Chains A and B, each alone.
Chain A
């Protein structure tokens, strides 16, 4: 019973129960697409008919730019790889990069945001100015610079994935930093923090016990928003030639770059499928993020029944623990929208 109650309070599950109608539809669609993506990433070795760098089988070479056929359901690329296999293996690359990038940036961003917001002073001011400067800058350009530094523009197997992930991390840290800092400043003035101070609790303990636990409620939301951005940044880097070599791993952006000239000669299968894969994954993750955002904002949440009476605008109540989220004031509003 207690376990069921705990499950019900888990981030996404809580919102799923809270949602109705169209909003539930969007959330469920997002969850399904994301689930399929993750399963594809995990089971890529089983699902893919060929390896990502495989050029030939027992019948000889695949041949370049072959149209879709029974042997190659989605055709072959200009480099002679099987498109379907590379699309499936690409899911694995994307998932790995997202996981590494988001974990790294959450870790660093949350730590810095908490320190900055809690300690204040000159450290806070310097960090805020730095974060704002980085935040306002085109993220792709920053990721390019980071990619040059990390891999020198070259890419190997593991190195390529790490380079892409760290480049994306550099871009994301300011976002986590801003959100967590704003939350920390809010929580810092709460009575329970003062109470803890009065009884002589150390700063570190207050930060980890009181501030951190209460400032993380927005994280699932940023997490989803950033995952979609991570995929787009990875694809953008790949498209500009900072991707991972085709022999090291499959990467959708890299394949799209190689497909530019194909398009001009009417060869559509080399670009449409990796591109569609990117769109689907970003769509799925964004649908989740968007739904979480709406459900957290009482003005946007579809209310049960009350919808019929338009004048009934005063009966809004906060359902999120800790009160209604105020996404814009914490910079959330901008996050999913302003950058690429």
Chain B
């Protein structure tokens, strides 16, 4: 399974990389292959971002100019026209497009209409919260997904396996916002054990935002205060959103680890160990699970995209004031410049993180390179 996954990556790259794909592969084989792979992979970021930014731009402009969308009905036609002209939306679409590309290239993703902030500022203000949430979710996914996946492989085709697999499917089948609402209902409302929503209680929030050089990532800021009450307050608020978002990825990890451990369990070297009398449990624990972890690294890239999508929903459920929550607010305000900017910015983030993940995968597993 591991070789199949990395094989798919390899195939994908050789086909999408450069026009000289097939001949390149034949020419490779020396020690420079890693660098060449990294270079090709790096260059691939640009068309990816370019395509997504272009697509979003074209799509968003087919419905007309963003100012009418945001302010239409609230202002008189003359006022609207003045605003449109000032923002330059009355010029030919091609000129606007070239200008927009130039702006994106220099890191300017436009200003929001509703509160007139640069989109990059929105990212700096709220990105930390989303990053923090994704971090908690990944921790939950690792703690829950990997051991349970190994257990399911060990119990293969027995009842325990069936229960674990149904759990994995349930984790996938439950929308993150419904999981969030259920957790909230049980642990916050009925048991009263955990806070209902938000990233911290108001007092903690005030302390943390007043902190010198606040990062916006509450966990780091709280640790820097060294105040136990603040740290526990931040962590308590993180539990439910972290679980709600993390379970989804945990289910993915569980299935992936199970499939791959079962795959490696039928390999020759495992057979050899088995014939030496190594117990089945030890086979899973010591021999089969490490190669099964490599595909996890390869899927994390795509998981990050999924976590970002899930974060929009989780943040709305828990009023977790991050990028996703903000995006939902802009959507409700019909501020499509902000939406376009945030989506374009996320495209860059996704492309770059995918690149980093692929580099790590290539460093760990030589078969990924070609």
Name which of A70-78, A92-100, A133-141, A206-214 contacts chain B.
Answer: A133-141
Q: Closest residue of chain B to A181, judged by CB? A: B15
Chain B residues contacting A46 (CB-CB under 8 Å) are none
Chain B residues contacting A340 (CB-CB under 8 Å) are 176, 248, 306, 309-310
Q: Please judge, given known A-B contacts A136-B305, A149-B62, A283-B173, whether A311 and B350 are in contact too, CB under 8 Å.
A: no
Q: Please judge, given known A-B contacts A256-B181, A275-B182, A286-B173, whether A138 and B346 are in contact too, CB under 8 Å.
A: yes
Contact B178 A275 (CB under 8 A): yes
Chain B residues contacting A137 (CB-CB under 8 Å) are 52, 305, 346-347, 350
Nearest CB of chain A from residue B121's CB, rounded to whole Å: 20
The digit string for B62-81, where 1 denotes a CB below 8 A from any CB of A, is 11000001000000000000
The digit string for B330-348, where 1 denotes a CB below 8 A from any CB of A, is 0110101001100100110
Q: Please judge, given known A-B contacts A134-B52, A264-B184, A337-B256, whether A286 and B172 are in contact too, CB under 8 Å.
A: yes
Total A-B pairs, Cβ < 8 A = 216
Cα of A261 to Cα of B47 in the assembled complex, Å: 43
Contact A264 B274 (CB under 8 A): no
Cα of A337 to Cα of B299 in the assembled complex, Å: 9
Chain A residues contacting B309 (CB-CB under 8 Å) are 138-141, 236, 339-340
Q: How many residues of A contact B (CB 8 A)?
A: 71
Q: Please judge, given known A-B contacts A239-B177, A338-B252, A338-B303, whether A141 and B308 are in contact too, CB under 8 Å.
A: yes
Contact B302 A339 (CB under 8 A): yes
Measured as residues with beta carbon below 8 angstroms from the partner, the interface class of chain B is 35 or more
Contact A133 B47 (CB under 8 A): yes
B190 within 8 A of A: yes
Contact A141 B302 (CB under 8 A): no
The digit string for A131-174, where 1 denotes a CB below 8 A from any CB of B, is 01110111111001110110011000000000000000000000
Name which of A51-59, A60-68, A324-332 contacts chain B.
Answer: A324-332
Q: Please judge, given known A-B contacts A22-B162, A136-B350, whether A145 and B302 are in contact too, CB under 8 Å.
A: no
B60 within 8 A of A: yes
Name which of B97-105, B230-238, B312-320 contacts chain A.
Answer: B312-320
Contact A256 B350 (CB under 8 A): no
Query: Which one of A241, A326, A338 has the greatest number of beta carbons of chain B within 10 Å?
Result: A338
Contact A278 B316 (CB under 8 A): no
Cα of A232 to Cα of B161 in the assembled complex, Å: 25
B351 within 8 A of A: yes
A263 within 8 A of B: yes
Cα of A286 to Cα of B251 in the assembled complex, Å: 13
A218 within 8 A of B: no
Contact B190 A266 (CB under 8 A): yes
Identify which of A133, A239, A264, A338 contacts B175 (C-beta below 8 A). A239
Query: Within residues 6 to 46 of chain A, which ones have a CB less than 8 A from any CB in chain B?
Result: 21-22, 25-26
Q: Closest residue of chain B to A283, judged by CB? A: B173
B170 within 8 A of A: yes
Contact B336 A148 (CB under 8 A): yes
Identify which of A138, A242, A257, A331 contacts B8 (C-beta below 8 A). A331
Q: Please judge, given known A-B contacts A239-B316, A241-B332, whether A333 and B47 are in contact too, CB under 8 Å.
A: no
Chain A residues contacting B38 (CB-CB under 8 Å) are none
The digit string for A103-144, where 1 denotes a CB below 8 A from any CB of B, is 000000000000000000000010011101110111111001
Name which of A187-195, A197-205, A243-251, A299-307 contacts chain B.
Answer: A299-307
Contact B263 A299 (CB under 8 A): yes
Contact residues of B: prevailing secondary structure: helix
Contact B271 A313 (CB under 8 A): yes
Contact A328 B1 (CB under 8 A): yes
Chain A residues contacting B339 (CB-CB under 8 Å) are 144-145, 148
Cα of A148 to Cα of B55 in the assembled complex, Å: 13
Query: Within residues 327 to 370 of chain B, which ones have a CB less than 8 A from any CB in chain A?
Result: 328, 331-332, 334, 336, 339-340, 343, 346-347, 350-351, 354
Q: Please judge, given known A-B contacts A264-B189, A338-B306, whether A152 and B69 are in contact too, CB under 8 Å.
A: yes
Identify which of A132, A253, A259, A329 contacts B16 (C-beta below 8 A). A132
A260 within 8 A of B: yes
A235 within 8 A of B: yes
Query: Which one of B11, B157, B262, B263 has the greatest number of beta carbons of chain A within 10 Å?
Result: B157
B95 within 8 A of A: no
Contact B313 A239 (CB under 8 A): yes
A279 within 8 A of B: yes
Q: Please judge, given known A-B contacts A153-B331, A260-B317, A279-B173, whether A337 and B305 are in contact too, CB under 8 Å.
A: no
A183 within 8 A of B: no
Contact A21 B308 (CB under 8 A): no
Contact B177 A138 (CB under 8 A): no
Contact A232 B59 (CB under 8 A): no
A-B complex: 3 closest residue pairs judged by Cβ atoms? A138-B309, A282-B173, A275-B178
Residue positions of B touching A, CB distance < 8 A: 1, 4-5, 7-8, 11-12, 15-16, 19, 44, 47-48, 51-52, 55-56, 59-60, 62-63, 69, 157, 161-162, 165, 169-170, 172-178, 181-182, 184-185, 188-190, 196-197, 248, 252, 255-256, 259, 262-263, 266, 271, 274-275, 280, 299, 301-303, 305-306, 308-310, 312-313, 316-317, 328, 331-332, 334, 336, 339-340, 343, 346-347, 350-351, 354
Given A148-B59, A290-B169: 19 more A-B contacts, CB < 8 Å: A132-B12, A132-B48, A138-B309, A138-B312, A148-B60, A152-B63, A236-B313, A239-B313, A299-B1, A310-B274, A311-B275, A330-B8, A336-B172, A337-B252, A337-B255, A338-B305, A339-B305, A340-B176, A340-B306
Some 15 contacts from A to B, beta carbons below 8 A apart, are: A134-B51, A136-B48, A136-B350, A136-B354, A144-B339, A148-B331, A152-B63, A236-B175, A240-B316, A242-B331, A275-B174, A278-B178, A279-B175, A283-B173, A337-B172
